[in-house]
Structure 1
Amino acid sequence: MSPSAIPPRAAAAAAGPTPTKFTLPDLVSHCGFKLRINRHRKQVTSETKRWLFQGDNLVGKARDRYHGLKAGLLTAMCYPDAGAPQLRVCNDYLTYLFHLDNLSDDMDNYGTTTTADVVLNSLYHPYSYRCPARVGRMTRDFYKRMLPTASRGCQQRFIETFDFFFQSVTQQAIDRASGVIPDLESYVALRRDTSGCKPCWALIEYANNLDIPDEVMDHPVLRDLGEAANDLVTWSNDIFSYNVEQSKGDTHNMIPVVMHERGLDLQAAVDFVGELCKQTIDRFTHARASLPSWGPEIDRDVQVYADGLVSWMVGSLHWSFETERYFGKEGRAVKQSQVVHLLPRRESA
């Protein structure tokens, strides 16, 4: 079902008292895939920590945020079969991506464009490009460790989709500066790239030593699988991150988009997005059952890739209640009760 096919619930936020809490949809129960955790988690988490903190000014609250993030757990859940070297690259990248995401929240479009230039030059020319910026050094470091075993198709998909990420966060910065709340269709198109999920899908190929031909990766059913997984991870993240984002006045989130476009109150908007998330799980399951055959060897790799998308879907849902990024230290309690109490707006917002 498309977003427009879901009947809007009566509402307007202005019609009633300001809410103090809302109830989460139970997406974990609806996503009935098995959760698995990579056995190299602790080793890789320690290695990434040393890599991130070396000769750097990440101290105090910045270090506390890193520990509360629990990126190593997310990586271990999303790449459960990766060997230790591959898991390390994936964990370095995800930790670095969260760092970029935090930076982009405070950037204007010039700042995101400048960062994009450094990152993309570092990816396209990892052995010859020279830039003292820390983000460039980090990019070249993890990417040079990825190159020896990543297929050419995987490398190209990683760089291209990372380019899309920067293009979309630049547009997000422009919207934020102008106070624009996009319509739902425009938001969905942009969010599929601001999520940063697409480069992570390329890392599924890398982490599992896959070499899937371009024409197979471009098949409509396989593309639909990736899009459905992206939508679940991204839209559920909008639900989980809404409380923190609303406290900062950030409107790049599907909840305020739906409230604005459809005149829904907060709970109705959360229910609406939750229903969309459940539909993406069903859509993924249907697409996976519709995969064609390309022969035994390619079919095996495609199944491993699809399993990797499954791990991301179920892993990201469970991790969202383990990290302190969305619910502080109350994540497990929120997972049980499904109730989120709204944070007050910050004065700077």
Structure 2
Amino acid sequence: MRTFAPTAVVAPPFHPRASPYEPVLARASVRWAARHGLAADPDAAQRLRRANAAELAARAAPDANPTGLQLLSDLITWLFALDDVCDEDGIGADPGRISPLVSVLMQVLDQLGEPAGAPATDRPPLATALADICGRIRRQGRPGALLRFAASLHHYLFALVWEAGNREQGRVPTVAEYVQMRRHTGAVLPSFALTDLAGGGLPHSRHRVDPKLARLNTVAADLVCWCNDLFSYDKERDQDNHNLAAVIAHQTGQDPVNALADAVTAFNDGLALYLRLQAEVLADAPPPVVRLVAARRHWIRGTYDWSMNSSRYQ
């Protein structure tokens, strides 16, 4: 895929940028992960370092303030750690094993950053680290951002159980079902929430309910997830069917090469749609909407650039 994607996928026509704080972010996120027990052994620590969450955060939010950017980098680190637990420990294919962990993590979210009733030692490291993230959001004094983050991460956790059920049953979802659920399994929406918090917050709700802006947000999330699918396909195609190319192949009966080409076409068409929606949304848009649209552009381009070199897909 590494030789195919760069030549077939249309590079997002946005200027690539990255925050100058990336080296500081990287060191701080490594220390944060170690402090919360997310890197329990040398192999886990090495996987997290190689994933380079700080680079993705720096590219996705180049103009964010350092505090907000560190929060985003730590969230991405947490997501990579949870993904590794699901893969390495096999719980991502067993609903009965992942459900207890999801329950504990949902309890943390339900507490909305308040101190947990149970001692921290009674919680798994992923729950302790998530409680830290929620608490830091709460201390920024933006309750709307905290509620939005918690709601979108709830959807992500539910989607992990959906994936585990599919894997246990050997079930391949339809393309339409996969596209809908992929927006949640990719954890892009909670990442958007922290990106917007770091960039000054969301537009007023009257703007957020505008169908064109809502559609643009969804298309941006799709593009981030599909970019991930395209660059990870070569590594994961014999291990997991939760990939846009894999579900296209299953539904249409195509061979992997043609299905992958169709997935690339879906990405390229989605990018063209995003550009049209962007032009419509930005016509006479107020500054908060302009900031949101810029943030989505950075995520799309940042994911593409990070994916091109990420050791996570090698």
Q: Report the CA distance between 1:239 and its aligned residue.
A: 1.3
Amino acid at match of 1:168: A
Instruction: Give secondary structure in 1 for the equivalent of 2:237.
Output: helix
- CA distance in 1: counterparts of 2:28 and 2:182, whole angstroms: 31
1:33 aligns with 2:14: yes
Q: Is the 8 A contact 1:184 1:254 kept in 2?
A: yes
Amino acid at match of 1:132: R
Deviates more, 1:283-292 or 1:170-179: 283-292
1:79 aligns with 2:61: yes
Amino acid at match of 2:71: V
Q: Report the CA distance between 1:93 and its aligned residue.
A: 0.4
1:307 aligns with 2:294: yes
Change in Cα spacing, 1:123 to 1:55, as seen in structure 2 (3 Å) is: closer
Q: Report the CA distance between 1:192 and its aligned residue.
A: 1.3
1:136 aligns with 2:122: no
Q: Report the CA distance between 1:294 and its aligned residue.
A: 8.2
Deviations 1:148-178 (A, max 9, x none): 3363332221111111111111111001000
Q: Which residue among 226, 231, 249 is the counterpart of 1:240? A: 231
Change in Cα spacing, 1:211 to 1:180, as seen in structure 2 (3 Å) is: closer
Structure 2 portions without partners, runs of 5+: none
- CA distance in 1: counterparts of 2:173 and 2:28, whole angstroms: 40
Calculate percent identity across the aligned residue pairs: 24
- CA distance in 2: counterparts of 1:316 and 1:97, whole angstroms: 15
Q: Which residue among 262, 266, 272 is the counterpart of 1:272? A: 262
TM-score of the two chains, using structure 1 as the length reference: 0.82
1:195 aligns with 2:186: yes
Mapping 1:57-76, distance limit 5 Å: 58-76=40-58
**Which has a greater percent of helix?**
2
- CA distance in 1: counterparts of 2:36 and 2:293, whole angstroms: 39
Deviations 1:27-50 (A, max 9, x none): 665311011111111112111111
Instruction: Give secondary structure in 1 for the equivalent of 2:139.
Output: coil
Q: Which residue among 39, 45, 52 is the counterpart of 2:33? A: 52
1:284 aligns with 2:274: yes
Deviations 1:303-339 (A, max 9, x none): 1111111001000011012220112xxxxxxxxxxxx
Structure 1 portions without partners, runs of 5+: 1-19, 328-349
Amino acid at match of 1:196: A
Larger Rg: 1
Q: Report the CA distance between 1:98 and its aligned residue.
A: 1.1
Q: Which residue among 164, 182, 188 is the counterpart of 1:173? A: 164
Q: Work out the number of aligned pairs and report it.
A: 304
- CA distance in 1: counterparts of 2:268 and 2:141, whole angstroms: 33
Q: Is the 8 A contact 2:108 2:127 kept in 1?
A: yes
Q: Report the CA distance between 1:180 and its aligned residue.
A: 0.6
Q: Which residue among 300, 305, 311 is the counterpart of 1:318? A: 305
